[in-house]
């Protein structure tokens, strides 16, 4: 153990800062989508229809299979769900 401290689990496990940042964005979108689906009390079938994907894709989303989803796909799904996605860019710390 090196005793390093990381601000995010993604910073610790991803090989590059670029990949870590992408995973942070994807995980945030997946969490928002899951929360929205549960808040609406949609079945997986209903969610699939509203988001324009198949029921197995919703199952993958709800199971947190992040590697199966691109950032583009998650943005499209969020907008289809009636969510507004914003991005903020700032200098790295």
Structural domains in the chain plus CATH codes: 9-80 (1.10.260.40)
- Angle at the Cα of 86 from the Cα atoms of 83 and 89, rounded to 5 degrees: 160
Q: Residue 2: which pLDDT band, with cuts at 50, 70 and 90?
A: low
Model confidence at 33, in pLDDT bands (50, 70, 90)?
very high
Contact present, 24 and 10 (Cβ < 8 Å): yes
pLDDT given at position 81: 96
Give me the pLDDT at residue 12, please.
74
Longest dimension (CA), the chain: 47
Q: Taking a C-beta distance cutoff of 8 angstroms, is the pair 7, 53 a contact?
A: no
Q: How many CA atoms lie within 13 A of 55 on its CB side?
A: 5
Residue 77 has pLDDT above 90, yes or no: yes
pLDDT for 5: 82
In this predicted structure, the answer to whether residue 1 has a pLDDT above a threshold of 70 is no
Rounded-to-integer distance, Cα 67 and Cα 2, Å: 27
């Amino acid at each position: 153990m090196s005793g390093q401290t990381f601000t995010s689990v993604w910073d610790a496990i991803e090989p590059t800062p670029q990949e870590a940042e992408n995973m942070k964005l994807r995980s945030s979108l997946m969490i928002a989508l899951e929360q929205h689906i549960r808040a609406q009390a949609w079945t997986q079938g209903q969610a699939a229809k509203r988001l324009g994907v198949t029921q197995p894709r919703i199952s993958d989303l709800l199971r947190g299979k992040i590697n199966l989803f691109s950032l583009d796909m998650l943005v499209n799904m969020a907008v289809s769900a009636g969510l507004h996605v914003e991005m903020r860019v700032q200098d790295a710390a």
